[in-house]
Structure 1
Amino acid sequence: MAKSRLIGDYPVIGIRPTIDGRRGVLNVRGSLEEQTMGMAQAAKKLFEENLCYTNGEPVKVIIANTTIGRVAEAAACADQFKKAGVDITLTVTPCWCYGSETMDMDPMTIKGVWGFNGTERPGAVYLASVLASHAQKGLPAFGIYGHDVQEADATEIPEDVKVKLLRFGRAAVAAATMRGKSYLQIGSITMGIGGSIINPEFFEEYLGMRIESVDEVEIIRRMTEGIYDRKEYEKALAWTKEHCKEGFDKNPDFARKTDEQKKEAWEFVVKMMCIMKDLYNGNPNLPKGCEEEAVGHNAIAGGFQGQRQWTDFYPNGDFAEALMNSSFDWEGARESYILATENDTLNGVAMLFNKLLTNRAQIFADVRTYWSPEAVKKATGYELEGKAKEGKGFLHLINSGAACL
């Protein structure tokens, strides 16, 4: 599968095995080393076997070089994780630990804490205590705890804990992947739609992203001045002619385009998509002298205004939207993009969340009509059956939206 050209490494998960720091005659710490490190290794294995980045690669997970019983080891772990590019930490423990000394104090990491549910050692006490310390210091953290008490020497992760760990890991990887990336709006507000009025505070403060904006005329400029990859365009056009068949033209005669006009429109929309991909993530194969355009906007998502200034005059963005959001094009299988129709930034973000959480291409569709069983019978004489009848009708999603193929 072709990989995204986004700038920046994918986030790494760091496992922090924290431990009771008491040594002395009883050597409490020594008796817990194996169990504590075992929890870390089990969590690492769970993440690596179940979580992937959006390009299909398994999530990278590392474990602290030692268990963490006092602040010096917490500092050593922080240094190790910083060098490894860790954005997400999971602290694991079966026992009581010195909370403020062993906790992750980095304000930028996404934090989870898994406390072992066993009666021999107070893992629950540490979990409650350290979560309170996180709250007191304004450092959000997700608490993970099992429903049932386990034996002290248990090595397996209970099913309910697996679910909680994977929910945390999946969401944390999604949130960390967005950081520092761009939402690229091509154009601006569409027909008064509130979602296409972009909100910088939401993107910058809540998602950790930046906003990039280009006018729609940039697409025309690049077409006019030949600022696109000619070889890719020719390959894309040939692929489109082979695979994208024209359907029935239901326009009245006075509004119907000629065959020559349709041919030009196909060439236009294919070129348009090539340029949009370049706007998102750049293209090193642009003509000489176009080094500025070649770098792109590092966009993980974006939107195209279209309506109505564009679509009243140029071919619309449906082709680019459908294929950008799909997991393939003329280059074969590839990671899907997120391109919102009508620059509906909020729908674009919802699509981005779903892509990052599921690693799947996305569909957005406006609701055209709700059809109740009674309305269907009145209009057609047909009585709904099966799921449509049981669900008391269906929604007709044909109005508008950026849907993958």
Structure 2
Amino acid sequence: MKKRKVGIITFSDGRDFVHEETLEMNKKFEDRLVKALERTNEIEVVRASDIVNKPSKAKKAGKEMMKAEVEMTIFNYSIWCWPHLSVIASLYAPGPYLIYGQINPKYPGMVGMLAAAGALEQIGIFPERVWGEPEDPEVMKRLLKFVRGASAAHRLKGERYGMFGGRPMGMYTASANGDQWMKEFGIDVEQIDQYALVLKAEKVPTEKKRKAREWLERYATVQYDGKRLTPAILEKQIGLYYAALEIIKEEELDFVGFKGQPEMTNNYATMDIAEAFLNDPYDFDGPKEPIVAATETDMDGALTMEIFKHIAQTPVLFADVRHYFKEEKLLDLANSGQHATYFAGKSNNPEENLKNVIIHPEDFYFPAGGGAVKHFAAPGRVTLARLARQDGEYVMTIVPAEFVELSDKEKKRLSEQVQIEWPHAYAKLDTTIDTYLEYYPCNHIHGVYGNYIEELVHFCKVKGIAFQILD
């Protein structure tokens, strides 16, 4: 897990005699905050070299944060401090900003915090505000939620998305404007023909593909049928995975999307193996960082997944909103092999997940053949969401839900009504299906285990994006 690099600048009184009198106390308050942040094991703290009581020190502290490339900055207040120092520091220290107020009733720290917040807001900077003891778990929880959302917004800047193929099957919601992405998120879009995958896949050494296939056969159940799924076709799919990795490295891509249908699925092989294992925290060769991969070159889907990845630092789900079972009150989320195998067992250990995975022959939609990565999502609380455009403006729709555990008999019964070859996640929504169908913006959905609603809200506020929560 990559720690989030957070800067801390502590402010003081501009009068020398007050600053000197309160200096050691101010440092102790800063120490408490630093220790509390470091205890989370999520944050790498960068401290300014001085407690700031002069404009020159405010500039210096801000430039130190800039040089350290922090992902956001916390302005720390435990006594009265002169507000213009915070404004000057903000000219250099990277945002987003969080104003943190310590509890110190004998000194007007709350006054200093509010005065600084008002000054920043007057110049168009709207920081998050958190107040309380840093040792208080609830206070730290609030602070962490903002740090996660803010750092996610920061980490998008300078990333590159690899778009393999064009718009899929007429889906407007899957295509976005690269100029808008660069303007709003700082993301560059690289368009790559799918034929590049085929060319590189054909050059992957036979021995490498064979070893990967045998690894899959060892840990998962591979159901060869001699037609749409054979060892040779599975190795073709594995070749596509290694080809994608090579292009991602060559082009310095951070996340990707593959068109797949109909060119690859009609003429070569499906991308299911590549998509699933790119999203996984491991592959045939050992542990790795998940690389967000969206099927059907769904750009806004991939972007939603990348935001989730930076917030939760876990694999992210991609699925179709396939069917609602009215009697069971379950939404069936399914897509052709797109679910990372992580969701089969909710583990970073491939053996734990793959024992629940079947590599199933594809159905008639995909005449070129291949294996679908079939499994049922492990139970647990989830946060589902989608970033989509409405009249050109982005809106984040957030859907709290729970993936439920069903008996093997129920899984078979329900999946046979929909698509037995594909992976499924059965979601019980917090909202009603009528509300969901009225307000949810498209056919694809994404999510992670855990409650990350507030982190997504913070992300949206930082980016100036509207949001709606269907709960």
Structure-1-length-normalised TM-score: 0.76
Alpha-carbon contact 2:174-2:298 (below 8 Å) kept: yes
Structure 2 CA distance, aligned partners of 1:246 and 1:212? 35
What corresponds to 1:383 in structure 2? Answer: none
Q: Which residue in the other structure is 2:386 paired with?
A: none
Partner of 1:18: 11
Q: The residue matched to 1:43 in structure 2 has which SS?
A: helix
Picking from 52, 55, 77, the partner of 1:71 is 55
SS in 1 for 2:263: coil
Which consecutive residues of structure 2, in runs of 5 or more, have no partner in the other structure? 342-471
- Report whether the alignment pairs 1:168 with 2:146: yes
Report SS of the residue matched to 1:97.
Answer: coil
Q: Which residue of 1 aligns with 2:181?
A: 203
Tell me the amino acid that sits aligned with residue 215 of structure 2: W
Deviations 1:253-293 (A, max 9, x none): xxx717xx72321111001000111122x2xxxxxxxxxxx
Cα distance, 1:322 vs structure 2: 0.9
- Aligned equivalent of 1:158: 136
Structure 2 distance, partners of 1:165, 1:124, is 17
Match of residue 44 from structure 1: 34
Distance 1:175 1:45, change over 3 A: farther
2:71 paired residue number: 87
Q: Higher mean Cα deviation, 161-170 or 122-131?
A: 122-131
Shift of 1:357: 1.2
C-alpha separation in 1, matches of 2:36 and 2:172: 41
Residue 400 of structure 1 and its aligned partner are, at CA, apart by 4.4
Distance 1:99 1:349, change over 3 A: same
Which of 117, 126, 134 aligns to 1:131? It is 117
Q: Deviations 1:199-222 (Å, cap 9, x if unpaired)?
A: 224421222221111011111222
Closer, same or farther: CA 231–144 of 1 in aligned 2, 3 Å: farther
Give the aligned partner of residue 253 of structure 1.
none
Alignment CA distance shift 1:369-1:248 (3 Å): farther
Query: Which residue is 1:100 aligned to?
Result: 84
1:306 and 2:260 correspond: yes
Name 2:19's counterpart in structure 1: 29
CA offsets 1:165-192 (integer angstroms, 9 cap, x no match): 1112222222222221111111121112
* 1:332 equivalenced with 2:286 (yes/no): yes
Find out whether 1:242 has 2:232 as its counterpart: no
The count of corresponding residues between Structure 1 and Structure 2 is 339
Residues 134, 140 of structure 2: 8 Å contact kept: no
Q: 1:297 to 1:315 in 2, by over 3 A?
A: same
Shift of 1:231: 6.6
Looking at structure 2, the residues matched to 119 and 46 of structure 1 have their Cα atoms a distance apart, in angstroms, of: 21
Are positions 1:275 and 2:243 aligned together?
yes
Q: Which amino acid aligns with 2:136?
A: P
1:13 Cα deviation from its structure 2 partner = 1.5
Equivalents in 1 of 2:195, 2:143: separation in Å? 47
Question: Which letter maps to 1:36?
Answer: N
- Summarize the Cα distance change of 1:344–1:31 in structure 2 as closer, same or farther, 3 Å threshold: same
Which amino acid is the alignment partner of residue 137 of structure 1?
I
Q: Which deviations, in whole Å up to 9, do the C-alpha atoms of 1:345-399 show, x marking residues without a partner?
A: 12212221222111111222212211112xxxxxxxxxxxxxx5xxxx2122234
122 and 80 in structure 1: CA distance in 2 versus 1, 3 angstrom threshold:
same
Q: CA RMSD in A?
A: 2.5
Counterpart of 1:315, as a letter, is A
Q: State the match for 2:227 in structure 1.
A: 257
Structure 2 residue matching 1:188: 3-state secondary structure: coil
Is the alpha carbon distance of 1:396 and 1:279 closer, same or farther for their aligned partners in structure 2, counting shifts above 3 Å? same
Aligned equivalents of 1:15, 1:245: Cα separation in 2: 51
CA contact (8 A) 1:269 1:317 kept: yes
| Aligned partner of 1:145 among 131, 136, 148 | 131
Q: CA deviation at 1:144?
A: 1.7
- SS of corresponding position for 1:368: strand
Separation of aligned partners in 2, 1:168 and 1:130: 19
- Give the drift of 1:326: 0.9
- Please tell me whether the aligned partners of residues 144 and 164 of structure 1 are also in contact (alpha carbons under 8 angstroms): yes
Could you tell me which runs of 5 or more consecutive residues in structure 1 were left unpaired when the two chains were aligned: 4-8, 53-58, 147-154, 250-255, 283-295, 374-387
Residue identity opposite 2:244 in structure 1: M
Q: Structure 2 vs 1, CA of residues 243 and 20 (structure 1 numbering), >3 Å: closer, same or farther?
A: same
What displacement does 1:107 show?
7.2
Aligned to 1:394: 330
Q: Write the letter of the residue equivalent to 2:265.
A: T
Return closer, same or farther for 1:211/1:10 CA change in 2, 3 Å cut-off: farther
- Pairwise CA distance, 1:232: 4.7
Higher relative contact order (CA 8 A, sep 6+): 1
Deviation at 1:32, TM superposition (A): 2.3
* Bigger shift: residues 187-196 or 37-46: 37-46
Q: Is 1:319 the counterpart of 2:297 in the alignment?
A: no
Q: Relative to structure 1, is the Cα distance of residues 81 and 396 closer, same or farther in structure 2, using a 3 angstrom cutoff?
A: closer
Are the equivalent residues in 1 in contact too, given 2:216–2:222 (CA < 8 A)? no
Displacement after TM superposition at 1:133 (Å): 2.3
2:314 maps to 1:360: yes
- Opposite residue 15 of structure 1, the aligned amino acid is I
Alignment partners' CA distance in 2, 1:215 and 1:132: 51
Instruction: Decide which of 89, 100, 105 is 1:119's aligned counterpart.
Output: 105
Residues 40-95 of structure 1 deviation map (CA, whole Å, 9 limit, x = unaligned): 2222223322253xxxxxx3212111100111111221232233222321110112
